[in-house]
C-alpha cells in the first residue's frame, strides 16, 4: 500500500483525523439499510452472496481487463485517490482501476479490501476538481462499508432468475434487488457528502451533477436554473406525478441528478458541512458506542424534515402513515436495545 504520510493535499484542504462515516452518512441511507436487512430472505441471500463474492476473482478480472492506476499509469487520478484517503484518514488507500466504457459511471467493489472502478466516460466528462469529487465519493463508499452491498447488487443483477434458492423465487429476488436499489440511491447521497468533504469545492460537486444531466456544455447551463428545476421536480403537479416519480426511480441505481444537486446544496448550507470543516465530527473510535435507536430516530427526524420541505402532494398523502411507521421502528429498536443490555441493575 502507498505510504499515507508522504501524501498531502495539493491545496489547502482540511484533513479529518479519525473521522467516522457517521459524520457524512445521510440518515435515509442508514434507515434504508435497516429496512433492507429486514426483508424476508435477505439473510439467506447475504449468506449465499458471501460464498459467491470472490474478491480475488473480481480483482483479477479488473487487473486483466482494465488499467490499474499508479505511479506510472493515470498518475493524476492516483494522486487523487491517495489524497482522498489522506483527507478521510483511511487506514489504506483503495486500489483504483480505469475501465474503457463511455458510460459516465464509477463504483466501489469488494469486501475485505474494496477497490474502485472508474469508467473512461466519467474521466472524459469531468475536469480535475470534479473528478476529485467523484473519487472522494467512491472512497466514501469504501469508508462506509457500502462496497460489499454494491457488489452483492451487481451479482444479483447478473444472475437474476438463476438464483432459484432465493425464498419465493423470482418474486423474492426482485424484492431484494428493489430494496438494494432503494438503499443504494440513499447511499449515493451519503457518498456525495463524502466527495464534498474530500474536494471541499461545492461548485465542483454541483457541476458534476449538471454534467451528468446535460453533458460538458456548462456555458449553456445555469446552477440557479438547475436548482429551480430541482424544486419544480420536487413540487410535482398532483398525486399522479408523485406516483410516477416513485415508479420512475424503481429501476434507477442513482437518484436523479437534480435531486443530488439539491441535496448537496442543502447540506452545504445546513451548517453540518461547516461544523465538520471546523473539526466537529464523530470519530471512528466512538463507533462502538453509537446508539442504533438514536440512528433510527435521526432517520425518522430527517424524513419528517424532508417531508415538511417538500411540496410533493403524493408525499403529503403518505406522511402520517410513514411517521407512524418510523415511530414504531424507533420503539422497536429501543426495546431490542433494552433487552440486549440485560435487566437494569
Residue the block writes with cell 439499510:
33
Give the integer Cα–Cα distance in Å for 231 and 40: 36
Task: Answer whether 83's CB lies under 8 Å from 132's CB.
Answer: yes
**CA 128-133-134 angle, 5° bins:** 95
138 is catalytic: yes
Task: Please report which helix (H) or strand (E) contains residue 96, including its range.
Answer: strand 96-99
Task: Please report which helix (H) or strand (E) contains residue 128, including its range.
Answer: helix 128-144
**CA 34-199-139 angle, 5° bins:** 40
Catalytic residue among 138, 182, 188, 263: 138
Beta bridge partners of 118: 98, 106
Biggest CA pair distance of the chain: 67
**Among all residues, which ones are annotated catalytic?**
138
Amino acid at each position: 500500500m502507498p505510504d499515507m504520510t508522504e501524501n498531502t493535499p495539493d491545496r489547502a484542504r482540511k484533513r479529518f483525523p479519525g473521522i467516522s462515516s457517521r459524520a457524512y452518512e445521510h440518515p435515509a441511507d442508514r434507515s434504508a439499510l435497516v429496512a433492507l436487512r429486514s426483508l424476508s430472505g435477505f439473510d439467506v441471500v447475504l449468506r449465499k452472496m458471501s460464498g459467491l463474492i470472490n474478491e480475488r476473482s473480481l480483482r483479477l478480472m479488473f487487473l486483466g481487463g482494465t488499467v490499474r492506476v499508479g505511479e506510472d499509469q493515470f498518475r493524476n487520478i492516483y494522486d487523487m485517490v491517495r489524497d482522498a484517503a489522506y483527507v478521510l484518514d483511511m487506514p489504506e488507500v483503495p486500489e483504483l482501476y480505469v475501465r474503457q466504457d463511455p458510460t459516465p459511471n464509477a463504483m466501489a467493489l469488494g469486501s475485505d479490501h474494496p477497490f474502485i472502478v472508474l469508467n473512461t466516460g466519467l474521466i472524459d466528462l469531468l475536469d480535475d476538481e470534479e473528478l476529485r469529487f467523484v473519487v472522494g465519493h467512491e472512497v466514501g463508499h469504501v469508508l462506509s462499508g457500502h462496497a460489499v452491498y454494491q457488489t452483492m447488487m451487481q451479482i444479483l443483477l447478473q444472475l437474476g432468475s438463476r438464483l432459484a434458492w432465493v425464498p419465493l423465487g423470482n418474486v423474492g429476488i426482485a424484492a431484494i434487488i428493489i430494496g438494494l436499489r432503494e438503499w443504494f440511491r440513499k447511499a449515493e447521497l451519503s457518498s456525495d457528502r463524502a466527495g464534498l468533504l474530500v474536494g471541499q469545492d461545492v461548485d465542483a460537486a454541483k457541476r458534476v451533477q449538471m454534467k451528468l444531466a446535460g453533458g460538458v456544455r456548462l456555458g449553456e447551463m445555469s446552477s440557479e436554473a438547475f436548482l429551480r428545476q430541482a424544486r419544480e421536480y420536487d413540487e410535482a403537479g398532483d398525486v399522479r406525478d408523485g406516483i410516477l416519480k416513485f415508479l420512475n426511480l424503481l429501476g434507477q441505481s442513482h437518484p436523479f441528478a437534480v435531486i443530488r444537486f439539491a441535496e448537496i446544496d442543502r447540506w452545504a448550507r445546513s451548517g453540518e458541512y461547516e461544523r465538520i470543516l471546523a473539526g466537529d465530527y464523530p470519530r471512528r473510535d466512538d463507533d462502538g458506542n453509537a446508539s442504533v435507536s438514536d440512528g433510527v430516530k435521526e432517520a425518522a427526524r430527517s424524513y419528517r424534515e424532508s417531508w415538511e420541505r417538500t411540496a410533493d402532494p403524493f408525499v403529503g398523502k403518505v406522511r402520517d402513515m410513514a411517521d407512524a411507521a418510523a415511530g414504531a421502528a424507533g420503539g422497536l429498536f429501543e426495546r431490542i436495545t433494552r433487552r440486549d443490555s440485560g435487566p437494569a441493575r
